Amino acid sequence: MPRACRYTTDVREDTGPTTPDAAGREGGVRLALVAGTTATAEIDGLSAAGADPRVMRHTPGADLDILVHGEPTIAPVVPVSPTGCPTPAVVTRAVRDLIGFDVLGVDAGIAGPTGAPTIPLGADPGRDVRDGRAVPTAGAIFDRARDVGRALPDEHLVVSETIPGGTTTALGVLTALGEPATVSSSLPENPLGQKRRVVDRALAASDLAAGDAAGDPLRAVAAVGDPVLAAATGLTVGCVESGTRVTLGGGTQLAAVAGLVRHLGVDAPLSLATTSFVADDGTAGIETLADRFDVDLHVTDPQLAAADHPATDAYLRGEAKEGAGMGGALRLFADSGVPTAALHDRIETVYDRLLADRAEGP
Amino acid sequence: MPRACRYTTDVREDTGPTTPDAAGREGGVRLALVAGTTATAEIDGLSAAGADPRVMRHTPGADLDILVHGEPTIAPVVPVSPTGCPTPAVVTRAVRDLIGFDVLGVDAGIAGPTGAPTIPLGADPGRDVRDGRAVPTAGAIFDRARDVGRALPDEHLVVSETIPGGTTTALGVLTALGEPATVSSSLPENPLGQKRRVVDRALAASDLAAGDAAGDPLRAVAAVGDPVLAAATGLTVGCVESGTRVTLGGGTQLAAVAGLVRHLGVDAPLSLATTSFVADDGTAGIETLADRFDVDLHVTDPQLAAADHPATDAYLRGEAKEGAGMGGALRLFADSGVPTAALHDRIETVYDRLLADRAEGP
């Protein structure tokens, strides 16, 4: 059975009640942005989710600010890649401006300040996975996030992430679970070899061999994961336990969340909504992961070539690709019937507002 | 110059761009619910913001939950008065359902759990004012809230509160500032004599006489106030400093916030939007306070007699009166042009949902 559906943002489909409800009343869709940090991101060359490690630690707080307020308010940076590609939060916010959906900020170890309200999970920033004890409180974070997920009254939750370095920790978890060890990258050239070396060191430090944590996913997260993986997994499990439909909105990190959920024995239907940039990244193996974890894969192409703007050109060069709910938001947008040209215009508006009156560094 | 305007929810006025923007983009209105607790509420007979003190400490978290999610999700109670009057958050949520506005949860010392995202201000629950050191960190709470207020991109912020016992602490602050010492009550018979005795003990314990804190408002809050007063004052000051228009949405507690702002030397225009129930409470003296602090008073009558429902009848008996943004939300509703009958229907819907599947106690 083919599981991957491919959309462009101009195609409207009837896929049931995903109509957003901006006031967040029951029956609507909400986008949860699970935000955190890991010291793993400070390893040179792994991530492009910020101009340098000093700035990168502020990316999750800034992404939350952008989704909630339209721009960084208290977060001291505008997250851009070393080559100037703006955070995918710009695209998610542009979609929100156009179709309206509530955002649920979740603090899974934010390191810097943010002006966005968040649900606290008591999570500290994740440690460098090379220590082999990346998230000592993974179980507690999972439990709290599951309680939040169980309690949400929404019909449909899009679960997304912002954590620089997150594909490396996702690779660690997939490896520890014995699953296909492929992940995407925010860089045009995926440093997959370097990531694998980092993961090998992490596994060695945690006395785990590849596959040793199969069926024990929280052990995998505690050893070689990150706090966002623990939180997103708990949120997803809590939602499906209480009848809230979940779309995992992201790339290989959210695919890893699907893997963690499956290794907990939860077999509820799950969708994974990602961007065409992840799907077109041969190193990511997103279709393999989706198939392996029995999730319906939805790929949306925002047709950015037609936009021809600095806010979007970097995606065409293979940068960023996904994050901060971009793929999930694009899926909602594709269902909305709003023309793609309006999305391109709005992305430029959000981008211009971000860069108009802010310096890049803290 | 007459400052008090009186509205019913059927009257539409042209008072400028208060049109809500559900996606929270720039130019819209947002309602900040500043939530906290004070041990002062545990003094017997002072507050009706919960069935008993054990339950009352959960009211702020539950009010946040209701505004954000439509019902308590993680908060373990549905806040009702000892006679069964539901929290005014029901009315605020009903308005939000009908006209759509974003909610900004602010944690100014919440004691119980909540499923709503919040901005943390590092505030602990307030102490019993009779100790004379009610909020030792009032200055730090004020500073953080001011930073948040300065950073908000909104054109218009409605500042509201949820804190059981808050009229007693407001009375303490007004007295310490040397201002008219009148406040409203969530009880039909305002226990103003008891409140004044509590405040007298508080002032004696703090070595302050009435008026001693004039011009030093944070000293008044630190001695005999509560953390919500510190936070709401900081939020208001930060907003007006950065060009965000502020409506204080509430009763005498928000009037006390206006007083604190004025004693800081801030003379920016402020509005106070309250309910007809507060305005009709002769003990509250809301017009005197509004006049004294140079704020435009807007009184909205939600015409609840026409609703004839348990969710609203208690207001006609003089219970609750205000809180959780009720007066501010009603002001936005009056501007929206939506018929009052729709509001009454929606209040019943929110109320029925709250009480349908929840027990009252934790």
pLDDT tens, residue by residue, B259-307: 999 999 999 999 999 999 999 998 999 999 999 999 999 999 999 988 8
Separation of CA B129 from chain center: 19
Angle between the N-to-C axes of helices A217-224 and A227-241, in degrees from 0 to 180, rounded to the nearest 10: 160
Number of inter-chain CB pairs under 8 A, A vs B = 80
CA distance A161 to chain B (A): 16
| Distance to chain A for B5, nearest Cα, Å | 29
CB contact under 8 A, A117 and B106: yes
DSSP letter, residue B126: B
Q: Which pLDDT value is given to residue B167? A: 95
Residues of A in contact with B234 (CB under 8 A): none
Residue-wise pLDDT for B77-88, tens only, equals 888 877 778 899
Mean pLDDT taken over chain B: 89
Q: What does the DSSP 8-state code read for residue B234?
A: H
What percent of chain A clears pLDDT 70, i.e. is strictly above it? Answer: 90
**Encoded amino acid at B233, one letter:** T
What phi and psi values does residue B300 have, to the nearest 5 degrees?
-120, 130
pLDDT for res B355:
81
Distance (Å) from the alpha carbon of B105 to chain A's nearest alpha carbon: 6
Q: Using CA atoms, how far apart are residues A88 and A161, in angstroms rounded to an integer?
A: 11
Angle between helices A217-224 and A166-177 (to 10 degrees): 140
Mean pLDDT of B333-360: 86
Q: Label each residue of B287-337 as H, E or C.
A: HHHHHHCCCEEEEEECCHHHCCCHHHHHHHCCCCCCCCCHHHHHHHHHHHC
A120 touches chain B (CB under 8 A): yes
Q: Find the mean pLDDT for residues B337-341.
A: 94
SS3 B37: coil
Structure tokens at A211: 């596959």
Kindly state whether A354 is in contact with chain B, defined as any CB-CB distance less than 8 angstroms: no
* C-alpha pair distances (Å), B293 with each of A62, A258, B238, B275: 37, 56, 18, 18
Whether A196 shows a pLDDT value over 70: the answer reads yes
User: What is the Cα–Cα distance from A2 to A357, expressed in whole angstroms?
Assistant: 47
Residue A27: predicted pLDDT = 56
3-state SS track over chain A: CCCEEEEECCCCCCCCCCCCCCCCCCCCEEEEEEECCEHHHHCCCCCCCCCCHHHHCCHHHHHHHHHHHCCCCCCCCCCECCCCCECCHHHHHHHHHHHCCEEEEEECCCCCCCCCCEEECCCCCECCHHHCCCCCCHHHHHHHHHHHHHHCCCCEEEEEEECCCHHHHHHHHHHHHCCCCCCCCCCCCCCHHHHHHHHHHHHHHCCCCCCCCCCCHHHHHHHHCCHHHHHHHHHHHHHHHCCCEEEEECCHHHHHHHHHHHHCCCCCCEEEEEEHHHHCCCCCCHHHHHHHCCEEEEEEECCHHHCCCHHHHHHHCCCCCCCCCHHHHHHHHHHHCCCHHHHHHHHHHHHHHHHHCCCCCC
Instruction: Please state the φ and ψ torsions of residue B30, each to the nearest 5 degrees.
Output: -130, 145
Residue B4 confidence class, pLDDT cut points 50, 70, 90: low
pLDDT at A3 over 70: no
Say whether B73 and A119 touch across the interface (CB within 8 A).
no
Strand partners, A89: none
Q: In chain B, which residues have their Cβ closer than 8 Å to the Cβ of A117? A: 104-106, 116-119
Is B101:B22 a contact under the CB 8 Å cutoff?
yes
Q: Does A26 touch chain B (CB under 8 A)?
A: yes
- Spatial distance between the Cα atoms of B327 and B248, rounded to a whole number of angstroms: 9
Question: Do B69 and A120 lie within an 8 Å CB cutoff?
Answer: no
Listed in sequence order, the residues at least 6 apart from A248 whose beta carbon sits closer than 8 Å to its beta carbon are A158, A159, A160, A232, A236, A254, A255, A257, A258, A270, A271, A272, A273, A295, A328
User: Which of the four pLDDT bands, split at 50, 70 and 90, describes residue B7?
Assistant: low
Q: Yes or no: say if A78 and A55 are a contact pair by the CB < 8 Å rule.
A: no
Q: How far apart are CA B194 and CA B213, in angstroms?
A: 22
**Selected residue with higher pLDDT from A309 and B136:** B136
User: Does position A119 have pLDDT exceeding 60, yes or no?
Assistant: yes
Out of A104-108, B129-133, B310-314, least confident range: B310-314
- DSSP one-letter code for B40: G
Give the residue with greater pLDDT, B56 vs A345. Answer: A345
Q: Given a cut of 90, is residue B195 above it in pLDDT?
A: yes
Q: pLDDT tens-digit profile of A225-242? A: 999 999 999 999 999 999
Closest alpha carbon within chain B to A28 = B69
First to last CA, chain B: 50
Q: A71 contacts in B (CB within 8 Å)?
A: 153
Give me the mean pLDDT over the A325-338 stretch.
Answer: 96
**Could you read off the pLDDT of A206-231 as tens digits, one per residue?**
999 999 999 999 999 999 999 999 99
Q: Which of A74, A118, A147 sits opposite B74 (nearest CB)?
A: A147
Position B272, amino acid = L
Chain segment B214-242, per-residue pLDDT in tens: 999 999 999 999 999 999 999 999 999 99
Q: Work out the burial of residue B190: count CB atoms within 10 Å of its CB; fewer than 13 is exposed, 13-18 middle, 19 or more buried.
A: buried
In chain A, what residues touch B73 (CB-CB under 8 Å)?
148, 151-153
Q: Can you give the pLDDT at residue A13?
A: 37
- Structure confidence at residue A359 (pLDDT): 46
pLDDT at B360 over 60: no
Of residues A347 and A11, the one with the higher pLDDT is A347
B356 shares contact with chain A (CB less than 8 Å): no
Query: A70 and B153 in contact by Cβ < 8 A?
Result: yes
Nearest to B22 among A22, A70, A117 (CB): A22
Lowest mean pLDDT among A24-33, A83-92, A96-105: A24-33
The verdict on a CB contact (< 8 Å) between B151 and A74 is: yes
Contact B152 A69 (CB under 8 A): yes
Q: With 90 as the cut, is the pLDDT of residue B122 above it?
A: yes
Interface of B with A in 217-256 (CB under 8 A): none
**Band (B24; pLDDT cuts 50, 70, 90):** very low
pLDDT tens by residue, A152-161: 989 999 999 9
Residue A177 has pLDDT above 90, yes or no: yes
On whether ipTM exceeds 0.90, the answer is: no
Q: What's residue B121's pLDDT?
A: 96
The fraction of chain B above a pLDDT of 70, given in percent, is 90
